[in-house]
Amino acid sequence: MGLIRNPEHDVDVRAAGAEPVLCDLEDARVEEVERILIGAGAVVFAAGAGPVGGLVRMYAVDQWALALMAEAAEKARVRRFIHISCMGAGRRPPPESDDAWAAYVAAKSAAEDNLRTRDLDWTILRPGRLTDERGLGLVTLADPPLPLGEVSRDDVADVIAALLDTPETRHRILELIGGGIPVEEAIRLVLIR
């Protein structure tokens, strides 16, 4: 299933082979999300307002909605949880960063801090700048820090799918950019480091 807040995304979710569930995490209560999650095998939290969503909305989605989803996952006993964060989280933004980017990184960092306190098998994935280019299935995946870079949304999706099938990545923070290593091999290399 895929949670959506905009009914117009219904068709896209169905086309991807999932059942859309209308739920606006900015207004939802934990109990509502818990009911939705009961029986799920995992949670992938990819919601985000981004640095152009306005400060209130940014914190509501990028920080507080993550906390709500993580609490609901705990209550529904869904242990596997993958959080899509951003490169730069967990560090101070460079001095030349604008206020919106600094707030975005702060919200993502606080969300990561919250998730790490949870009794969940979490993995935090920090992709570089997302592109809409067709994925090649070739990435660079490593413990932080990686140099800033770009990665296609397709390749991020492939990495998420592979991480779901790799419970050994629990309690790991990984950064992701485009590269030259096939996804499965990149994950194998992370596990031996």
Which residues are tagged catalytic?
104
Secondary structure E strands in 111-158 = 121-127, 129-131, 138-142, 150-152
Residues 22-34, buried b or exposed e (16+ Cβ, 10 A)? ebebeebebeebb
- Transcribe 97-111 into DSSP letters: --HHHHHHHHHHHHH
Contact 129, 163 (CB under 8 A): no
Residue 111 CA to residue 115 CA, distance in Å, equals: 6
Going by the DSSP 8-state scheme, the letter that residue 146 receives in this structure is: P
From residue 77, how far is each of 27, 101, 118, 161 by CA, in Å? Answer: 22, 34, 12, 20
DSSP secondary structure string, 170-193? TTEEEEEEE-SEEHHHHHHHHHH-
Cβ pair 64, 33 in contact under 8 A = no
Extract the tokens encoding 153: 């949304």
